[in-house]
Chains A and B, each alone.
Chain A
Amino acid sequence: KAGVTQTPRYLIKTRGQQVTLSCSPISGHRSVSWYQQTPGQGLQFLFEYFSETQRNKGNFPGRFSGRQFSNSRSEMNVSTLELGDSALYLCASSLGPGLYNEQFFGPGTRLTVL
């Protein structure tokens, strides 16, 4: 069974631009969560989607948004990029919502903002 895939793996953008990251969950998994990983703040929860609905959201500004499609694939978007948005963005999928289902992580997308 294929694991969680994220595209692209690496991305370089400049301040003010916007970016869209994609996540394909494990087949049969319907819940997708996004995390931001930085050296200073560590791993921080961004949001979780289930059945095309945002279920939970972390403490991030409105520039960070996401969506989920009917096939459970998810995208996250960051608008008006800032230098501090440089990070590894991780996607995790699970069978259902909440954390009683084990989350499986993807390899991440490394975003660099110049």
Chain B
Amino acid sequence: AQSVSQHNHHVILSEAASLELGCNYSYGGTVNLFWYVQYPGQHLQLLLKYFSGDPLVKGIKGFEAEFIKSKFSFNLRKPSVQWSDTAEYFCAADSGGGADGLTFGKGTHLIIQP
């Protein structure tokens, strides 16, 4: 079965710092990868997704992620964070075709200090 691990459960950064959140998945075959964000009091929303093609994907609000197949990784990055980026971030994967739904990581709680 697919599993997804996120390295950091809590991250605290100052505004303008660079961000990288780690994500590793276990499935060795075709995989689709996602990052979701949940802002305080709001719904889960999709930040970005990778299905195929260019391994560097760009999402909303200046976020990007890089798919490295050899490392089974899909790390999320942002060059300069803002206070409004404070949220819970979830990495998710499916084994292609969605047969088992999305498998989520446990999430990373990001706090940006002004």
Contacts and interface: CB of A to CB of B under 8 A. Distances in A.
Interface residues of B, number: 23
B79 interface: no
A59 B90 CA distance: 20
B44 A90 contact: yes
Contacts of B20: none
Interface stretch (A63-71, A74-82, A96-104): A96-104
A42 B97 contact: no
A3 interface: yes
A108 B42 CA distance: 10
Q: Which of B1, B104, B105 has the most CB of A within 10 A?
A: B104
Interface in B1-43: 1, 32, 36, 43
Interface in B21-76: 32, 36, 43-46, 49, 51
A107 B51 CA distance: 26
Given A42-B105, A43-B90, A100-B51, A58 B100 contact: yes
Contact of A99 (B1, B32, B105, B106): B32
A102 B34 CA distance: 10
Contact of A105 (B1, B43, B51, B101): B43
Q: Which of B94, B99, B102 has the most CB of A within 10 A?
A: B102
B86 interface: no
Interface of B: 1, 32, 36, 43-46, 49, 51, 90, 92, 94, 97-107
Interface of A: 3-4, 33, 35, 42-48, 56, 58-59, 90, 92, 97-100, 102-108
Given A42-B106, A105-B43, 16 more contacts: A33-B102, A42-B104, A42-B105, A43-B90, A45-B101, A48-B98, A56-B100, A56-B101, A58-B100, A58-B101, A92-B44, A98-B97, A99-B32, A100-B51, A105-B45, A107-B43
